[in-house]
Amino acid sequence: MDFELNEEQRDFQRTMREFVDKEIKPVASEMERSGEYPTEIVDKLKDMGLFGMTIPEEYGGLDLDAVSFAIVFEEIARGWMGIAGTLGSHSLSCWMIAQFGTDDQKAKYLPALATGERRTGVGLTEPDAGSDLQGIRTTAIRDGDHYIVNGRKTWITNARHADPLPVMVKTDPSADPRHKGMSVLLIEADTPGYEVLRDIGKLGYKGPESCEVVIDNARVPVENLLGGVEGRGMQQALPALESGRINIAARAVGIAQAAYDAALDYSRDRKAFGQPISDFQAIQLKLADIATNLQAARLLTYWAASEQAAGKRADMQSGMAKYFASEVAINASLEAMRIHGGYGYSTEYVVERLYRDAPLMAIGEGTNDILRMIIAKSLISGRDSIG
């Protein structure tokens, strides 16, 4: 059993770490407070080719292995989790198009998506349908060589920059079971009737926009049906969400790492009763807990990524990684704040931002309660086992 990164992955990690330390960490807190969109950082991500992480090389992408994919999100989230969001939804969408798109769809969209000239996201969530994806109400009714699309999507990351936006719709609202009537349409930004209505205010996860999208009698060409066959939307979205959960798990590891780094450094510098607070047993116990859980979360995330890279079904593994790592991130950010004492509540220190960013990791790509059910069903069915 080899728990080490290979040489290529280690070099890639080193490159990402240097980039984050130089280009993201020094500006993250100020940009987050000001609400400034991170245009310069996004441009540098383009230059590095990171918008093509999940795109095959024949279309100009990097086609990263799943562990390297996780490393990107871990390192970027260590600097500023919001920046990771800019790449996250884009990469998931690109993977869907690369895996399930027609040859024409791949040739049309992937080269520009790989460079970041085009960007994208994923239009799944609705006001009344989050984890219950089959409960969506957005419809796409065939009318000759177009679909007439009506509905509303919410919490859509990158919505103002997405072109196209893959949108989950019901092409057969009366289908039973419901998933057989669900499809994905690639809706381009200039489509009449397609409107990004508003940005949603958030506790954390600043940087990328999270928007509400309204689709009102939009005419979308039939050729924009992902894969060219109706009724395969769930088959296309669910495998993508496995990759999305590895992305979220890796982001959570990055947050936990940043919290640990901040707590350790502060405990060495801060003095009380004439000595560094790192000398106190109470602080040492907290640091030990954070470090142990952090490393467990990292190994679980890399394990899930390795399973996916091997071509195995990884819904249980990615669910475990996302569930555990997100809880570790929440606890690590809280404990880091406690170690900082009153300063942990100050915007002058990074831990208050980590504390605000971490909870989203327990919600995004399926809430942790939903994932616990997925894990349990996989175990009960005998499809996966432990030990």
Instruction: Note whether 183 and 140 are within 8 A (CB).
Output: yes
Which residues share a beta bridge with 195?
A: 214
Residue with tokens 């957005």: 138
DSSP assignments along 123-140, one per residue = B--BTTBSS-GGG---EE
Q: Which of 101, 98, 87 is CA-nearest to residue 58?
A: 98
The first and second tokens of residue 72, run together, are 């990107």
For 89, 98, 171, 227, 283, the CA distances from 103, given in Å and listed in that order, are 22, 9, 22, 9, 57
Instruction: Check 32, 75, 307, 365 and give the catalytic one.
Output: 365
Residues 6+ apart with CB under 8 A from 136: 124, 126, 129, 151, 168, 169, 170, 182
CA 146 distance to own-chain centroid: 31
Residues 279, 331 contacting (CB under 8 angstroms): no
DSSP 220-245: EEGGGBGGG-TT-HHHHHHHHHHHHH
Angle at 308 between CA 302 and CA 314, to 5 degrees: 95
> Is 4 a residue of the active site?
no
Residue 378 Cα to chain centre, angstroms:
23
- Cβ neighbours around 265 below 10 Å, total: 11
CA-derived radius of gyration, the chain: 21
Q: Tokens 């996250």, residue?
A: 88
How many angstroms separate the most distant Cα atoms in the chain?
80
Active site residues: 365
